[in-house]
Structure 1
Amino acid sequence: MKSDPNSRVQRFGVAVVGVSILLCALAYFGFLYVSIWHYTMDDSYISFRYSRNMIDGYGLRFNPTDALPTEGFTSILWLIAMAPAFLAKVPADAFAKVINLCFVLVTALFIGFCIAKATEKRKHAYLGILFPLVGASAYLCFFPVSILSVSGMETALSALLVTLGAYQVLRFEDGVRLSSAGVFATTLLAMSLVRPDLSLLAVAMLLTVFFTTSRSEDKRLLIRSGLCYVLAGTLYFGWRWWYFSSFLPLPFYIKAAGSGLHGVDSVLGFLKEPLVALTVALSLIATGKCRGLFLGALAYMLFFTKPEHLMGEGHRFLMPILPILIVVGLSTASKTLNKNTYKVAAAAPALLTLLMIGSAMSIDPGEMTFLNAYAKALKSTYGAIGETLKNESRSGVVAVSSVGLISYTSNWSVIDMFGLCNATIAKHPDERLDVTFRSEPNYIILVSSRRERYTPYVSQHRSDFNQKIFDTAIEKDYHVTQISEFLPGFYLFVLKR
């Protein structure tokens, strides 16, 4: 006599196992989160400075003294999300970590909801109960998720909005209503506002729902939803073009410069993660709405093979699609296993165990050590210099390439020699030298690979221009007043006029 896979006893047992796995995952995530709590990306302080200036009435300006606003930030929605920190006068970095923690936990919750929605018609308790709980657990155990929780960037919010969009796509299986179409359009718009590149995924979600819906009434509602999204997005794009006098955000001019596929290595590094590789492999046979979501995720990865971006730790730009890969991979696996009771009993535990092992394998003790060393170095160098400038009798101008913490701490006017927050340098890099010295900076900070004499540290920041700036500074009677070690082989040379 065959046992009923949906008997009350078996469902209770499966639920106990699933909840136990989730509780262990939460504890493990909490350990990782606390272990790297002090890590905050320097770039996050750029957003904090923009948000603070916005609250202080300077508009979207990097320097309050700038004649024109500059769009050196990535996410307008993240600036708004950070505004309460400055209204309540609480530390911005701590506030960012706390709300990002909330975003991550809600994302894990909705990953479970998505998988439960995709498996709700399955006849086996393994699929309807255990898969959603393990999917959420796998997300929490993935080390880069802990990194994006504490980094101070908008990545956790991006991942949450993508997950909410995917959940709505799957819910449309039951039909489209006017209210749900409106919420869907709002979610897609929020995705585009939190990261412009997520517009690609938003369009993919819209097309997925449209082409997998058969009722003509539903299609009409989706067309209206899509038109509302496009109209609102167009209005925002037109406003920002007018406000910043720039067709595209400044980071685009920096990261999309040159020909070739500069991001291939970063995308391959993401795909080599065991959890990502497994979920991608499972998703290859996805059907229906899951297939559309997977194709959107693939298109997003292909897009990032082109820009010369600074991926940073934790696969920063690619992490928003991880929830989709987990949802589609486990939903597809559940559909395949649902056809045979014996396959479920034998294969489901093995698959879920492999998924959790793959997620846990993402931990890199060396990277954890680096993140903590980076956090300490950032505060003891750029942060300390910023505090010194802040305490000077009057404010001045400082030229530097890593502008985040030093600009936020000192509140001086800053010349961003890299160009993210300087429109002229971003669009006309050949004018970098001219722009830098035309402002007569009181201090210039350059990075060297050697302490004993200045030797430009060449990195992804394309800092080959540093030697010319150093030589010109010496000619103009600047002199080195301080040399600080950031990390071994990475020294800050502070030149004063």
Structure 2
Amino acid sequence: MPSIYRRMFPALFVSILFVSIFAVNLSRCYMDDAYIGFRGVRNFIDGKGLRVNTGEGVEAFTNTAWPLFVALTAGPLSIPVTAKILGFGFLVLVFLLLPLVIDRLSAEGDEEFSGGIWFWVLILLAVSPSLVYFSLCGMETAPAALTLLVFVLFAHRGGGLVGGAAAAAAFAFRPDTITLVPVLILIDLFSAGTLLPASSAEPSLKARIGDIWRCRGRMILTLAVCLIIITGIRYGYYGSLLPNTFNSKPSNPILLAVNGVKLALGEQTNLPFYLGGPLGFGFLLIGLAELAIGRGETGRRVLAVILAGLFFCLYSLRDWTMMARYFAHYLPLAMLGLALAMEKLGRISESLARGKRGFFQTLIAGSAFFWVCTTIVFGNFMQWERHLGSSAAAKYPGYVLNCSSLEPVARQIGVDFRDSGFTIACRRLGVLSYFSGLSVLDYAFGLPHRDVALKVRKKGKAIDDPADPLLEEIWRSRSPALLLEDGFEMRKILKAQGKSTDETAGEWASITLHGIEYTHIRSSAISADEKWILYGDARAHAFLATPAKTVRSTKSSE
């Protein structure tokens, strides 16, 4: 056993204990997006293909390797439980591999790490809302983080084959990691001086590039071959070179600039709060500089992962969860960069005190060090309560982050409209499609529909209004018999059509969407403050009125 494990055993024990406690407490928690993959897994197991709507051969998820892995390992347990157990196992492996990365960084640097800092790295990760929750609620976060750790540990001279394969695996779980190897090569070029003016004493540009190719060539070739294979399989199976979400969640260079400003101001929700703002981002920059200059090959690999994650979060639209989900799989290695900055700050504080440079200098350095630790510790617990606490579940997006309250409503819709062959329009795709068994028209993002996703790309953002003229042809062709909406969204639709409703009496006015009239069927409570409103056209009401449907549960009806 490496000596690093003996030194870090207390931190490993406590962090895995925390993760285990969270796993028990979150045993019934899944987010709506996870059920999108689960629906694909169910269809795959049933021989209907790895897709959400069986009639549409569209890749509705970006994390295709994850539902495929769940499908191949599914046994007697349910699909959601299988995914949760796998997520927990992968997360534990992440914590077990992190000490090896820490050991490498320490060995390749000029100074040994102090044990206290790295103890807190593991503890802080164990209570990180984005890393822990998304790993345990059915998402691909933990296996994606694990592939990045493998990339860091093996993407070095002599390990190019494993490094390239790990980068390809990361791409299969999270396509945003496609920038990982290009960023690493840019770091190599910068480190070799090819992006800086060369002096006459230095090797030629051709010689530098040749040296980098000898170091990274096998990794680049392995990654290229794997990407060709993955893309070929994707195109053959789905008829597309990229997942459908590249159309349904478009971005642009202007958004990149705007998000960069938000990061500097501390208002970038795609990243953890402690990495934003002048102070937090300043600490991260110190850590990045330390990785680039003083931590050798391992430092450059960790730096590449962090920069790839930062780029993706700044390039992307704000995630609807309002949490750092997009950065969660990068977070374990990003915390190492932040820890390096704290380590540096601790040394400065110690040096000032030892050198008697003055009380105020020592106080400033020590206070900044204390601020970082306390802010992350207390801030993480505040984030848990803000996004995932009992009060958060009463409103959006809390009841979608933990969609346990949506499950009984979706199940009842499945019971009422079993074997109807109807399509239901809704912006909440996952839990509804999984438990109702109906084909879902996701008009907001078009995740399982190529034509809707192209409309979203044309609009430049999600389609919030089902009456949007962009949807007219699509709506008529699919002719959804049912419409399910959050109460606050339904009020917007009614207001746009000049309609009103008497909610106290449970009466909702009829609406017309693209020539089809929908009337209220029932309202179902999904939280203390919100309801799901179910509308149906004449076909839906007629189906409910058939003799076979006269006896059904009305627990969720008003």
Contact kept in structure 2, 1:115 and 1:331, CA below 8 Å: no
1:220 maps to 214
1:425 maps to 452
How far 1:315 sits from its partner (Å)? 0.9
Contact kept in structure 2, 1:48 and 1:408, CA below 8 Å: yes
Question: For the residues of structure 2 that align with 1:27 and 1:352, how far apart are their CA atoms?
Answer: 26
Question: For the residues of structure 2 that align with 1:117 and 1:326, how far apart are their CA atoms?
Answer: 15
Q: Secondary structure at the residue paired with 1:108?
A: helix
Q: Secondary structure at the residue paired with 2:522?
A: strand
How far 1:456 sits from its partner (Å)? 2.4
Contact kept in structure 2, 1:480 and 1:494, CA below 8 Å: yes
Contact kept in structure 2, 1:115 and 1:135, CA below 8 Å: no
How far 1:63 sits from its partner (Å)? 1.8
Contact kept in structure 1, 2:306 and 2:334, CA below 8 Å: yes
Question: For the residues of structure 1 that align with 2:224 and 2:522, how far apart are their CA atoms?
Answer: 52
Question: For the residues of structure 2 that align with 1:340 and 1:413, how far apart are their CA atoms?
Answer: 61
Question: For the residues of structure 2 that align with 1:114 and 1:376, how far apart are their CA atoms?
Answer: 32
Question: Structure 1 residue 105 and structure 2 residue 114: aligned?
Answer: no
Q: Secondary structure at the residue paired with 2:165?
A: helix
String of CA shifts for 1:306-345, please: whole Å, max 9, x gaps: 3335341541111122122222343566578789996899
Question: For the residues of structure 1 that align with 2:480 and 2:222, how far apart are their CA atoms?
Answer: 47
How far 1:473 sits from its partner (Å)? 4.7
Q: Which residue, out of 58, 71, 77, partners 1:70?
A: 58
How far 1:32 sits from its partner (Å)? 3.6
- The structure that has the greater radius of gyration is 2
1:456 maps to 492
2:504 maps to none
The structure-2 alpha-carbon separation of the partners of 1:85 and 1:344, relative to structure 1 and needing over 3 Å to count, comes to farther
1:189 maps to 168
Question: For the residues of structure 2 that align with 1:405 and 1:271, how far apart are their CA atoms?
Answer: 26
1:285 maps to 289
The structure-2 alpha-carbon separation of the partners of 1:48 and 1:271, relative to structure 1 and needing over 3 Å to count, comes to closer
Contact kept in structure 1, 2:163 and 2:219, CA below 8 Å: yes
Higher relative contact order (CA 8 A, sep 6+): 1
Question: For the residues of structure 2 that align with 1:73 and 1:367, how far apart are their CA atoms?
Answer: 23
How far 1:183 sits from its partner (Å)? 0.8
2:334 maps to 325
Question: Structure 1 residue 273 and structure 2 residue 273: aligned?
Answer: yes
How far 1:358 sits from its partner (Å)? 3.9
Q: Secondary structure at the residue paired with 1:51?
A: helix
Question: For the residues of structure 2 that align with 1:466 and 1:156, how far apart are their CA atoms?
Answer: 47
1:389 maps to 414
Q: Secondary structure at the residue paired with 2:61?
A: coil
Question: For the residues of structure 1 that align with 2:498 and 2:480, how far apart are their CA atoms?
Answer: 15
Contact kept in structure 2, 1:191 and 1:202, CA below 8 Å: no
The structure-2 alpha-carbon separation of the partners of 1:342 and 1:75, relative to structure 1 and needing over 3 Å to count, comes to same
Contact kept in structure 2, 1:22 and 1:134, CA below 8 Å: no
String of CA shifts for 1:405-425, please: whole Å, max 9, x gaps: 111112222222221111111
Q: Which residue, out of 505, 529, 536, partners 1:496?
A: 536
Contact kept in structure 2, 1:45 and 1:404, CA below 8 Å: yes
Q: Which amino acid aligns with 1:443?
A: L
TM-score (norm 1): 0.79
The structure-2 alpha-carbon separation of the partners of 1:495 and 1:71, relative to structure 1 and needing over 3 Å to count, comes to same
1:232 maps to 226
1:363 maps to 381
1:162 maps to 148
Q: Secondary structure at the residue paired with 1:304?
A: helix
Of 470-479 and 393-402, the range deviating more from structure 2: 470-479
Question: For the residues of structure 1 that align with 2:252 and 2:179, how far apart are their CA atoms?
Answer: 22
TM-score (norm 2): 0.71
Question: Structure 1 residue 254 and structure 2 residue 248: aligned?
Answer: yes
Question: For the residues of structure 2 that align with 1:122 and 1:309, how far apart are their CA atoms?
Answer: 37
How far 1:201 sits from its partner (Å)? 2.0
The structure-2 alpha-carbon separation of the partners of 1:484 and 1:159, relative to structure 1 and needing over 3 Å to count, comes to same
String of CA shifts for 1:79-117, please: whole Å, max 9, x gaps: 22211454x142222222221112222112222211111
Contact kept in structure 2, 1:449 and 1:457, CA below 8 Å: no
1:483 maps to 523
Q: Which amino acid aligns with 1:58?
A: K
Question: Structure 1 residue 301 and structure 2 residue 280: aligned?
Answer: no
The structure-2 alpha-carbon separation of the partners of 1:130 and 1:227, relative to structure 1 and needing over 3 Å to count, comes to same
Question: For the residues of structure 1 that align with 2:354 and 2:96, how far apart are their CA atoms?
Answer: 25
Report sequence identity in percent.
19
Of 51-60 and 111-120, the range deviating more from structure 2: 51-60
Q: Which amino acid aligns with 1:46?
A: I
Q: Secondary structure at the residue paired with 1:417?
A: coil
Report matched runs for 1:334-345 at 5 Å.
none
Q: Which amino acid aligns with 2:176?
A: D
Question: Structure 1 residue 153 and structure 2 residue 192: aligned?
Answer: no
How far 1:191 sits from its partner (Å)? 1.0
How far 1:377 sits from its partner (Å)? 7.7
Question: For the residues of structure 1 that align with 2:10 and 2:217, how far apart are their CA atoms?
Answer: 43
Of 74-83 and 354-363, the range deviating more from structure 2: 354-363
Of 184-193 and 238-247, the range deviating more from structure 2: 238-247
1:439 maps to 478
Q: Which amino acid aligns with 1:399?
A: A
Q: Secondary structure at the residue paired with 1:494?
A: strand
Question: Structure 1 residue 79 and structure 2 residue 67: aligned?
Answer: yes
Count of aligned pairs: 466
Q: Which amino acid aligns with 1:194?
A: F
